[in-house]
Amino acid sequence: MNDFYELLGVSRTASDEEIKKAYRVKAREHHPDANPDNPEAENRFKEVSLAYEVLKDPEKRRRYDQFGPEGLRGMGGDGGQGDPFNFGGGLGDLFEAFFGGGGGGGGSGFGGQRRGPAGPPPGADMETVLELSFDEAVFGAKSDVSLRLPVACDTCSASGAAEGSSATTCSQCDGTGEIRRVRQSLLGQMITSSPCGRCGGMGRVIEKPCPTCRGEGRRTEARTYTVPVPAGVDDGSTLRMSGRGAAGARGGANGDLFVHIRVKKHSRFQRQGFDLIEMLTIPFTQAALGVHLDYETLDGGELLEIPAGTQNARTLRLRGRGVPHLNGKGRGDLIVQINVLVPTSLTKAEDELLRQFAQERNEDVAPPDKSLLGKIRSAFR
């Protein structure tokens, strides 16, 4: 499916009024009444209507802008099991809310086609937060997350029916899970559908519900999952674990689990893309004369050579000592930024040595402080 903004022909910063006007133009252009026997126009009309239903709602639009189509899960209905992403099964069910067709839930459509059996809807997607140390995010890890979510009922094997019984076809909707009605709209005649009130859109009725899950086919329990964190993951990333979300009612497929990554700060290093950066402070004598330092990286100790005459703010680069690329090909660098420390107080001997040094280089310096305050300072050195 195309981008919703492209479908309506508006920019991502379009106002509500601009979106509304654009929808009216596109709806008239692609309406089935204006394009008889043209399935492509009917499909485009459905896409345009779907795009408008999302972008006219501030919260749905915010989710779409931030997460794309996946972010729309959970923005409609009753929020199933407290999941903010539950759309009853994804974008297909968002179509169902307006156009009908295969899958669970109610909808509306063009023509008088009957749906097949509704079947159990998939479970909701779930979200959780995983906090990692800086090193775990850089090198990858396997970390556990625990949460409470609906899981398949063991007593009835997720059927929802008590032992010795089974679900029967709903007599009110003939197993379709929906009641369809014809209505007139500004765009012409449309066939609308809504979930069957007797079976709740399932298409089947349980006369003797399971005593453990009360006919749901699932119950809420605590679960712990091990999350394989790839090397190089960054703070704010989201990992998707397919099939680890909530179990669907009466044997419906499981939703997905979205794990939001939070990374703790490091005491020395900061991350910039796939590079690591540290501000290293050295005395001006080492900067002037050079030095070899035992330097600790995330991979272990290394010899860091600081050349003689190193200036303040100079950067030294350790190739391949940064963050691994997520595609597994190569690593970033470790960048050491030098901060030259100039002493703020000197002993008498140090002062004399520096003055001799300045004299050798013919460099003008301030005369010694012979004031009373200077003598007091010298006495306490």
pLDDT confidence band for 337 (50 / 70 / 90):
very high
Three-state SS for 323?
Answer: coil
Q: How confident is the model over 306-330, as a mean pLDDT? A: 94
Q: Model-level pTM? A: 0.62
Q: Give the HSE-up count for residue 150: Cα atoms under 13 Å, Cβ half-sphere.
A: 26
pLDDT digits (tens, 9 = 90+) for 108-141: 343 334 444 556 889 999 999 999 999 999 999 9
Model pLDDT, residue 70: 64
Treating both helix axes as pointing N-terminal to C-terminal, what angle do 39-55 and 58-67 enclose, rounded to 10 degrees? 100
> pLDDT at residue 251 above 80?
yes
Burial 216-226 (b: 16+ CB within 10 A, else e): bbbbeeeeeee
Q: How many residues does the chain have?
A: 381
- Which helix (H) or strand (E) segment is 222 a member of? strand 218-229
CA 77 to chain centre: 22
Q: Compute, in degrees rounded to 10, the torsion defined by CA atoms 158, 162, 165, 166.
A: -30
pLDDT digits (tens, 9 = 90+) for 54-98: 899 888 888 788 777 766 655 543 333 333 333 333 444 434 444
- Which helix (H) or strand (E) segment is 337 a member of? strand 334-341
- Bigger pLDDT: 265 vs 5: 265
CA distance 181 to 100: 12
CA distance 119 to 265: 48
What DSSP character marks residue 324?
B
Q: How confident is the model over 172-193, as a mean pLDDT? A: 75
Parallel, antiparallel or unpaired: strands 168-169 and 204-205: antiparallel
Model pLDDT, residue 112: 39
pLDDT confidence band for 2 (50 / 70 / 90):
confident
Across the chain, mean pLDDT equals 83
